[in-house]
A and B are shown apart, each in its own frame.
Chain A
């Protein structure tokens, strides 16, 4: 049976899979096998992979758990492990912390300082610290403090531990977005849209972010183009749940029917997601879309398949095009998701 495989087999299986829950399953199993057999270095290796995979496919908590373990081991024997990889992961972890409602502001600030101190201790540029400070204060909604960090980080030199230019530029866009300065958002987006800056996640994120600014400036023709292009890049990837919400927000105003298509295609990805913030944004943008859809005279049925986390099992359901009604779809989007089949008639 598959579960009796040894560490190497499990890792190999994992490496053959694309990022996603199945790959994570193998990696977690590998970490467990390593733990049980006291193979510390292997356990560390498996967790490095977990952090990487979980960060980019919607499991920030799993990433945090694996990283915490790694950091503890690292501190015990720093000479044993590669600090670059670990501290690079720290950036991902730090960036996700504000998305957890359970983690207090105080703790996040402590993490930021810990992060800064570690970067400093290895002689890396302080740019990363200030850049993440800039991001975290944006997450807190404290734009003045964020602005001060923005001015600071841009004067510091980049080094190989800095986030790539494209990612930084995307965060700068977000800053102007939060400030409500659509013109500036688009100006900041220019190098990305022109293709001068790109990476694994950019322009994927960017193309959805600029839709509403373009809409507000009346430039919907451009926005439509970016919408198509942007969705093509993120389709089916659950790392982009928040981008789906931005797509839906724009389409609610311009082309709800297309918005519903996106809802159908992405609902399952969002429901499975571990990041509370991305999920909240998703539901927040799906609700107005569905409300608007409900008002239409002629509308197609909505087809979707979703599975809810076990905590909401009593409402877990499958909906098929023939059975779903709009009312059923709308209700779930408020507290949690509910959908119905004939065989699963849970209390309404």
Chain B
């Protein structure tokens, strides 16, 4: 040993490590990424001085148990004694400016190097760094401990230029030092690195990363290396993909591959894309790099134009990111457009799997909608169909605005073979409304349950007169339920009545139901609201004259029986339609059943008496 001096950080290093591990990095495993990043930066810096220089990184694992040691070596620029002092000072400065300054991060090479190196204290009680700068000077050794002490000394021997970092694992961190784990992690972080990363363990050397595939720098070539691209995606993202779309931005500084997910995804699924900054993995959970609608793909993206956050796990949400995001979105959109034009089968397959994503995008982008509309699936009274088929079938497409409305009319509509689209699912209503805008010859019309009557057949005036008295009785019986009765003919004839509810009457029913259950104060507040919709809030009970029972009820001479039968048909219709009944309606149901039983029994007894 020649000169050895003991120094102390002018900061509470253990406190800083606390900050790093608890607030900055998501997991201790990032130490390896930080070391790779340091190596990459050092090699990049050397390449600037010596163009064409071939860099490499070697990671060696030795020892077992508490002697388990990892050495990470690069042949980059190395550090001079002055450099070492500078980066230590940098850490001191950052910490003096407080936690926020540290989190905001330093952007200079040296500054980042220092802070990144500290992450190693999450897995090791000592960091030993040996380094030789290409600028010459003696080789240096730096030893740091998490209590904040460190030593710097000049070495007697001259090392070749570059840096070696030695870590001895702490008991908790032993699994981060296992060969299998290290190999996986190195690939994970460094799969795209433009120099070989070699792992040495038990005397075996293996290169962890393949040669950079050509399509990394030129995504437009990906098409012609299909099998390669798919295999790469599977190794890196862990899924067997069948399709992908290459992505590039205008500047060419961001590129990627959007792998089409081979399974349907939930709309709320985490959009996690894997992003590499200057060839180093920065995030596997980048959510903000692609537009919201792109939830049908998982992407590999590499960029050198975005600014990472201090933890280097995400990007700052700034205008640059916004721009990149919209360019990547455009690339994806163009990929789909290209499919629509040249490979419709491929697109069809994609839409079948990711209809929701396609619909989300179509709502935002009319041109895109126009391009792919034919293949979008909808639920209709004629089953699940693609929009193209539906357009070919009719002049006007009718659709309901909610699942609820669809439920009310779908029996009648399908019995009359009327085509109605259930547009109650997310995006469908908007798409239906927009359709005439993108296709001039197609009309769509939103239909409400109380309008289905237009496909009912009217009853001839003469016949109608015959029912006049019964209808009046029916109307007044239903008055207290704010429902009116109408006589119509419709299919199917075994459906005696059809109950329909307008938006207002539906709201009113809900208001009344809640009012019955609520506190006095809230009931009176709800009362004020229902007063506002009262007149519009009538529902309709259609009596089907094609139904034999209804015919008999309407022509029954018994003035007492008719209202009760109508009331019973009304509550029955409510039950069939799964409507929650209020107290009054439940009472009608109970009393009605008892009455009919009574009538039935009496009729029987009379009959027996006659005999």
Contacts and interface: CB of A to CB of B under 8 A. Distances in A.
Contacts of A180: none
A298 interface: no
Interface in B206-254: none
Interface string A38-74: 0000000000000000000000011011111101110
A111 interface: yes
Nearest to A4: B578
Q: Is the interface of A mostly helix, strand, loop or mixed?
A: helix
Interface stretch (B33-41, B138-146, B154-162, B504-512): B504-512
Contacts of B515: 68
Given A20-B426, A32-B579, A111 B521 contact: yes
Contacts of B429: 21, 307
Interface stretch (A96-104, A207-215, A252-260, A325-333): A96-104
A318 B437 contact: yes
Interface in B493-532: 502-504, 507, 510-511, 513-515, 517-519, 521-526, 528-529, 531-532
B578 A32 contact: yes
B426 A18 contact: yes
A196 B523 CA distance: 41
Given A2-B403, A16-B266, A16-B267, A66 B514 contact: yes
B524 A107 contact: yes
Interface residues of B, number: 52
Nearest to B524: A107
Given A16-B267, A18-B267, A307-B401, A318 B525 contact: no
A85 interface: no
Contacts of B580: 32, 35-36
Contacts of A71: 518-519, 522
A310 interface: yes
B426 A318 contact: no
B578 A3 contact: yes
Given A32-B578, A71-B519, A303-B437, A25 B525 contact: no
B578 A22 contact: no
Contacts of A66: 514
Given A22-B424, A103-B525, A103-B528, A3 B434 contact: no
Interface string B519-552: 1011111101101100010000000000000000
A3 B407 contact: yes
Interface string B406-444: 010010000000000000111001100110110010011
Nearest to A69: B514
Interface SS of B by simple majority: helix
B402 A21 contact: yes
A69 B517 contact: yes
B268 interface: yes
A110 B527 CA distance: 15
Contacts, number: 134
Given A68-B517, A100-B529, A107-B524, A305 B437 contact: yes
A111 B525 contact: yes
A107 B528 contact: yes
Contacts of B526: 64-65, 68
A28 B578 CA distance: 12
Contacts of B504: 310-311
User: Which of A1, A17, A68, A232 has its CB near the most chain B CB atoms (within 10 A)?
Assistant: A68
Contacts of B579: 32, 36
A307 B433 contact: yes
Contacts of A311: 503-504, 536
B529 A103 contact: yes
B525 A320 contact: no
A268 interface: yes
Contacts of B443: 341, 343
B322 interface: yes
A68 B425 contact: no
A33 to B, nearest CB: 7
B528 A104 contact: yes
B448 interface: yes
Interface in B367-385: 379
A303 B366 CA distance: 11
A321 interface: yes
Interface in B571-589: 578-580
B404 interface: yes
Interface string A258-299: 000000000010000000000000000000000000000000
B446 interface: yes
A104 B525 CA distance: 9
Contacts of B521: 107, 110-111, 114
A309 B404 CA distance: 16
A133 interface: no
B267 A17 contact: yes
Given A16-B267, A68-B514, A102 B403 contact: no
> Closest 4 CB pairs between A and B?
A35-B580, A72-B518, A22-B426, A68-B518
15 contacts: A16-B267, A18-B267, A18-B268, A36-B580, A61-B507, A64-B525, A68-B525, A97-B525, A100-B528, A100-B529, A110-B521, A236-B364, A307-B429, A321-B437, A322-B440
Interface of A: 1-3, 16-18, 20-23, 25-26, 28-29, 32-33, 35-36, 61-62, 64-69, 71-73, 75, 97, 100, 102-104, 107, 110-111, 114, 232, 236, 268, 303, 305-307, 309-311, 313, 316, 318, 320-322, 341, 343
